[in-house]
Structure 1
Amino acid sequence: MHTSALPEPPYYMVSFSSQRTNVNDDYGEIGYAMTKLAAQQPGYLGFESARGADGFGILISFWKDEESIRAWKSVIDHVEAQRRGRQDWYSRYEIRVALVQRAYGFESETATAT
């Protein structure tokens, strides 16, 4: 899992929840490349992700505005990764785009001491 230090809202988030297939051809390499490429895009703020042993995962990316999200969706290498995802890596996925208007959290003192 990766967590992001984000600015104060408002900002946007894109939730990508997916169920993996058993096909692993290039999955890790392309996933790593996509996180690096996304980080170079204007308006990118960070991401958080987790995947369970059953293959279900959620990746949430954070963006300054909807224009940045649309631009990322059309980056040619990302378009190819989307095609490979539908063809090989995912049996299903859902994408949700949301405006974050409020955000808050908690972190214990022992968590910061380690």
Structure 2
Amino acid sequence: MYQSPLMSLPGITPEEYSYLQQATTGLNEQQMRAFLMIYSGKRKNPSDMLLFCLLGLFIVPGLQRFIINQIGMGILYLFTIGLCFIGSIVDLVNHKQLAAEYNQKMAFESLQMIRLSEMR
């Protein structure tokens, strides 16, 4: 039975799988390998995001925001102690959504890189 190469991504959720399947429609095998190589290096596993949120709550406020390239929010969390812990707790509850939004951005960037390399 055929198993999609997308299933090799650790901690992939059904929503992420569905999104990636739609986004990579039309890519040939070589492009798909290149996409997976780029995307797997950039994506954040939801369970890793949970760990970053816990560290952001107890040790370094805003760490989770720095990890997902939201530098301004990370600095704000850092100087306000996670918006008085409320923002850090909200991020802890919504860690899967934070990871999913970041991963969608990274999938889009990875696809753009693949398409740009084709134009050359």
The structure that has the greater radius of gyration is 2
More helix by share: 2
Q: TM-score, normalised by structure 1?
A: 0.32
Q: TM-score, normalised by structure 2?
A: 0.31
Higher relative contact order structure (alpha carbons within 8 Å, sequence separation ≥ 6) = 1
